[in-house]
Amino acid sequence: MSTALEPTATRPEKGGPPSSSGPSTRRGLNAKKLGLGLLGIGVTLYLMITAFQAIVIFDMPRLLMMVIAVAAGVGGAMALFYFLNMAVEGLPARTEIALKPYVFILPAVFFIGLFLVYPTVQTFIYSFANEDSTAWVGFQNYTDILGDSDFRETIFNNILWIAIVPAVTVAIGLLVAVLADKLSPTWEKTSKSIIFLPMAISFVGAATIWRFVYDAGNNNIGLQNAVVGLVGIDPVRWLQTETFNLNDMLLMVILVWLQVGFSMVLLSAAIKSVPEETLEAARIDGASELQAFFRVVVPQIRGTLISVFITVLILVMKVFDVVYVMTNGEFGTNVIGLEFFKQIFQFSNNGIASAIVVLLMLAIIPVLIYQVRYFKEEEATR
């Protein structure tokens, strides 16, 4: 039997030095680990930059470009954080503890600054310059676009989208969420999956699908003309009508179709979280099902309703893809997002395009401020 005494871990006294099992704050510099980490960071950045340069310079198959982009982006990010962590762990313990949070936040802050803050500031500056950004013109770009009758019509179209699409999306999503919750579990899941399915389709793909619905070409294969033909109505050239804003309404249907599933999922989850006791109390007090829903359920899901409304509202203010694919802004359907695209890519007018973006940004900022303040108020009342 061995008589050697093995060391046993002892719990440090309160206020005493940390035990040997925990991270020591007295650890010194590990030059080898620090050097390997810095070397790994440099090599990783070099390989990522080289990979993206190869995609731009060399003519290669798209599948290979996609593989290289994913490998360089995802794999490079993982390697970068790994070597960042290694480098920081090579520093003295106190320095590591102080720097580690900032080291992991730094790449995100850098890319936000590079791809969001810098372009925003640059766009604001270009909005006061001429079409090729070589001379200052002051507020001339803003004067030109706000004094243009076509642009005022474009603004009116955007206001119409803002007034109709978010409200209709939330209303239909709420209706579908309530009705789907009344079904059996199997049918509820099936119906919600079908309604949510359009969310998996891109805006361009959805617009392409709806082109066949509204088609009124020589072959007249459009689904909508086939439906109205059943009641004896002659084929109509949809999206090219002269009826007041009907063309815009038909385009709005596409966006509503895409976003109803998103609205339904969030609102359904919110409705399920409403305590059953509150509904039972309302019924005992004599409230009808309709009264219980609007006076008990709706107030309790108000936060979700506002979140969905604002999310769809911001999306609508930036709408571009659907209009571009369906009409290219013709027949009175132009919107601000598409007008910006035309100015910068079709007319090569950087000044006007930048001014349009600044106006759109100024319109979105109050909505974002309201949303942030509302969320803070919600958190404060919990």
DSSP structure string for 188-229: HHHHHHHHHGGGGS-HHHHHHHHHHHH--SSS---HHHHHHH
What pLDDT score does 5 carry? 46
Percent of the chain with pLDDT over 90: 35
pTM, two decimal places: 0.75
Domain boundaries, the chain: 31-126, 143-381
Least confident of 17-21, 115-119, 125-129: 17-21
Q: How confident is the model at residue 141 (pLDDT cuts 50, 70, 90)?
A: very high
The distance in angstroms from the start CA to the end CA of the chain is 63
Chain CA centroid to CA 43, Å: 33
Residue type, 60: M
pLDDT digits (tens, 9 = 90+) for 215-258: 866 556 678 888 888 887 777 888 888 776 888 999 999 999 99
Amino acid identity of residue 346, one-letter, is: Q
As a whole number, mean pLDDT of residues 122-133 equals: 91
How far are the Cα atoms of 177, 256, 268, 291 from residue 171, in angstroms, in the given order? 10, 10, 12, 17
pLDDT of residue 39: 94
Q: Tens of pLDDT along 264-322?
A: 999 999 999 888 898 889 888 888 888 888 888 999 998 899 989 999 998 998 888 89
Task: For the domain made up of 143-381, give the CATH fold.
Answer: MetI-like fold (1.10.3720)
What does the pLDDT look like over 176-206, one tens digit per residue? 999 988 888 888 889 999 999 999 888 999 9
In contact, 95 and 38? CB cutoff 8 Å: no
Q: How far apart are CA 350 and CA 123, in angstroms?
A: 9
332 in Cβ contact with 157 (< 8 Å): yes
User: Which residues sit opposite 129 in a β-bridge?
Assistant: 136
